[in-house]
Amino acid sequence: MPILNKLAKGSTIGIISPSAPLAGLVRNRAERGIKALEEMGFSVKVGNNAMKVRGYKSGTAQERAADINSFFSDNKIDAIFSFIGGNHSNQILQYLDFDLIKNNPKIILGYSDMTVLLLAIYVKTGMTTFYGPSVMNQFGEYPKIFPYTKEYFEKCLISKDVIGKVEPSKEWTDEFLDWFAGDDLKRERNLKKNDGYIWIKEGACEGKLIGGCISSLMHLRGTEFWPDFKDSILFWEIPEGSEFSKGETIYNVDAYLTDLKLNNVFDKISGMIIGRPFCYSVEDNSSLIEVIKEQTMEYDFPILFNVDIGHTDPMITLPIGRKASLDSKNNEFIIG
């Protein structure tokens, strides 16, 4: 596994837009995210094509890939962060230079549609990649990044120590404030009390962390970029649906779980971690848990639900490919 250098004050972050053009469309949000990184002591370099707007994408597939290849080849760039996700990162895989990436290992971070790139790079190079905050969403949070998000970002990517036990956040939000209307600049988002971890199935296990946004993960099914899930802890989370203010439908999630099952993923994994669903009601959560129970009824691996992953805030940063453990008896989720 290629060795990655941790970040420190003065490290240079290269920023990409591998799919959606939101950085070009809502520049104030992008600029606030950049400013937050600079206030944390980092230098920032924006990709040549990262602010482009080409319909619902930030550039051609070749342009989006060029920014990534360029940053991996630049020894002045210490890490690569995504402005935001989208739904078309899969289009750039054929243009990525995986030999270049393998020979120039560095941190690459993002979530949602970044699942596609993070897993593809992990599969093709063996390099640890990181499922965590994006520049516009989390670093650009008004008036500042949530402390919990920052804490686990630093534990994962800056601290020399292991991440260790992951504690649930005390509060969380999935409130949608319209960036285009500037609603996100008027007030902080409302927070709700977090009830903590929910064990759908009890037990204990160890395994390497593999996963991401469940709908994005499906883009890789049947390709050379599909991960080997043997002895892994599968983590997945639910994004927004066809509308930004609503979560992916339960019937779609049910279908995705069937896809995973048909691909024998559940036969291979040692455990499962599920992020808190985006914009789900209490009733939706109950229905989802029943679907998960039904889909996994013949398996005995532990399943941890309501974890701070993905499209709700705050969030943790997960190192793909690193060892973790689950233990329901002690209510523990530990990353080594």
Whether residue 244 is predicted with pLDDT greater than 80 in this model: the reply is no
What mean pLDDT comes out for the span 292-320?
A: 97
Residue 119's pLDDT is what?
98
**Residues 152-191 pLDDT 10s:** 999 999 999 999 999 999 999 999 999 999 999 999 999 9
| Whole-structure pTM value | 0.97
Residue 241's pLDDT is what?
83
Count of domains for the chain: 2
**Residues 313-330 pLDDT 10s:** 999 999 999 999 999 999
Say whether both 121 and 83 belong to one domain.
yes
Two tokens, residue 226: 């599909």
Q: Distance between CA atoms of 108 and 175, rounded to whole angstroms? A: 27
The 10 Å CB-count burial string (b at 16+, else e) for 232-243 is bbbbbbbbbeee
Mean of all residue pLDDT scores within the chain: 97
Residue 324's pLDDT is what?
98
Whether residue 229 is predicted with pLDDT greater than 90 in this model: the reply is yes
Q: Distance between CA atoms of 96 and 71, rounded to whole angstroms? A: 12
Say whether both 62 and 174 belong to one domain.
no
Instruction: Name the residue range of residue 222's domain.
Output: 165-335
Say whether both 281 and 190 belong to one domain.
yes
Looking up residue 42, the CATH number of its domain turns out to be: 3.40.50.10740
Helix axes 282-295, 250-262, angle to 10 degrees: 20
Query: CA distances (Å), 283 to each of 64, 191, 237, 287, 293, in order?
Result: 40, 19, 17, 6, 15
Say whether both 224 and 143 belong to one domain.
no
**Residues 23-53 pLDDT 10s:** 999 999 999 999 999 999 999 999 999 999 9
